[in-house]
Structure 1
Amino acid sequence: MYDSTSLPASIDTDDADSIFRRVALRFMPLLFVGYVVAYLDRVNVGFAKLQMLNSLHLSEAVYGLGAGLFFVGYFFFEVPSNLLLHRIGARRWIARIMITWAVLSMATAWVSTPLQFYTVRFLLGVAEAGFFPGMVLYLTYWFPSHRRGKMVALLMAGNPVSGLVGGPASGWIMHSMSGVGGLDGWQWLFIIEALPSIVLGIVILKHLDDRVADAAWLSEREKRVILDEIAADTATQTHGSVRAVFTSGRVYLMCLILFGIVMGSYAIGFWQPTILRSTGIEDAFIIGLLTMIPYSVALVAMIVAGKHADRTRERRWHVALPALVAGSGFVLCALSGASSALSVAGLTLATAGVITALPMFWALPTAFLSGTGAAAGIALINCTGNLAGFISPAVIGWLKTVTHSLSSGLFVVAASLALSALLILLFVPAKLVNK
């Protein structure tokens, strides 16, 4: 095992920057593509819905519940999955997650009843549990806090890129593959979009290093620099046990904040195609092309905000302000009626705000958690916050069935985002997270 005390640490800031840049170039492209395909496999049901509901005679409420059941499985298995990643190692565990979720995502193509739809969505959540918080935890092994914000932002740029690529691709698959091999377009959507996850899982198994000490491509001096920066950073953090994490009010505050932001994230992920169709656009491929507009703006906003947050070392407003922008976007969508232009404008504000707020949020809990406490804390925050992934589509689907309109559900989402911003500004001390 590598001994961090065995070498002198004599290095300037430029050399340290060069070492961490090399680490980023080694891992971030792989993790980025992983997040792209993960998000795509999670929310492509939003596009499949455009054909799937008529094909299987499902209601909007059934769709909303099924879409959200993913997060029930995700909730119950998130913490144990992240603890296993910490013990077994990122390489094997992340590869396992990707391959099993791909198989289950592909299986969605053959559901034919509400119960089958509910079951496969729940199992998909079980399979994917641990993936994103595991990657956030993995970054804590390689980057100190002041470098990690940009890395998380780059990782989560996979969200808008997934929308940029996945929207047109999903629309094209559904439009072009319908009837091929006796399958509907929505069935081919699940089959084709699951394949990259299997390939990537195998690549990760061969390429990822679990820890700094395992990296044969780094010199002993470079390992020392990385470990020394991380050690200096974690000296100011809470080295809590798993029990301490589960009794920490600060951790549960993070859960509530993330809950409101995720309400917005999955209102977009599961309902954006439906919002656009409600303005009179019927062609799935055109809907897919229009979704590129919000995601293009969101990608730029996320990267700019991540760099600005790391440069200024300010964290709270970089989460709260985007959350408020997203809330205003959902209000505009709710009031836009049949106007495609206003709906796209509202979706652009909502998507840019939510997608910017999410990576900025993760700089808050990782600023005060480390070690085993971080593994449990990140997983608890992520899985509890992501229960909004169940509540958001289920509530919107139920309200749409009852009121025959998306507006009421979108107002609920806007209020949730505003509450998250308020909680950050009132109860998260700047001195705790601004570093």
Structure 2
Amino acid sequence: MTHPEPASEDLLRRMAPQVLGALLRRYGHFDAAEDAVQEALLAAARQWPEEGRPRNPRGWLIRVASRRLTDQLRSEAARRRREETAAALTPRDAFVAPPPGEDRAPAEEDTLTLLFLCCRADLPAAGRIALTLRAVGGLTTAEIARALLVPEATMAQRISRAKRRIRTSASPFGTPADTLACTAAGEQEQEQEQPGERERAARLADVLHVLYLIFNEGYTATSGRELHRADLATEAIRLTRAVHVLLPDDGEVAGLLALMLLTDARRAARTGPDGSLIPLAEQDRTRWDRDAIAEGVALVSDALTRTPLGPYQLRAAIAAVHDEAAGDEDTDWAEILALYEVLVGLVPGPVERLGHAVAVAMVHGPRRALDLLAALDDDDHLAGHHRLEAVRAHLLEMAGDRAAARAAYAKAAGLTLSTPERRYLLSRAARIAE
């Protein structure tokens, strides 16, 4: 029996990584599994509007994708020598359809398996991040390129290379719990496990970075007519919660979850009835999600008191200062600046330095902050990016240089691919011209 609802784009996007994770857990063959999932999603988009949505959409997609994948594997095997194929096959490669009603791994486990697979240590760091954003986040190559501030062609090459590396690698997939388990028992064993611990830390860092990027794309879409992609932000929070369950004592996991909650708590107040962007200073704070803020503050407060300090904890602490202020005029910018000073010391990246410049402007005035922005003009990641010009325009407006601010707002509007951001920036430019 089916439900009358047709296939929705959001539902299919949300289930794609779950289905891909399930196929990889059973069969491996990343490239072939990804193709099979795409075929299953297309079949759903065609069939569900006419036949109705299945009671178990995920199970339906897994079955259809499994058939596509096994057909493809059998076709490939037929072109090889029978004995070579038999020697190469593993139990994972042999498809056995699960009987009706058989318990399957939960969707969360399948998605986490896919997440940690894409962040394997034998992949280049840039490839891990790109592939995960594609497979788990469901972002297009163009969206990933904009999120990581690199050319689209470069990003396409990274994704292709990462897929080839996974296809030719003989290393096992493993589960998230296996990947993150710390097996050292004594001091001597811990010493022997140091390379494994470094690999674990590097993989976890990549996982957190990717989840952060997925959340950011959901909270402020880099292109399109909508400011938010709530499905991506919600999925990023859900996955980060799952990692937090695996690693409840990791301060950076807790910090990232806190950061997402504290940031997403403002979502309802970020747009007007017409979808227009409302900046933080002008938002109706009664519309903020106080439960999410309370949870985020509790998480970051606990992490800061009992775990080593890390960048996500600092970012969450900055978000908490904003969220706990009764109004924009009550924001403790001196505390935010102090937190940014520590953050830039740990992570001197362009985005962190940009946020630091804004805090400097609020404490010491816009002129000093504009000097800091000048040092970012030659940064390859920010050059020609609308964020840099938007911040410059805001600081110039604060400094009273209306003509320069108007020009910077207009330039920023021409650089963004987000319709709400473009409209907001153009409205700021128009307001200055009045």
TM-score by length of 1: 0.30
TM-score by length of 2: 0.30
Structure with greater helix share of residues: 1
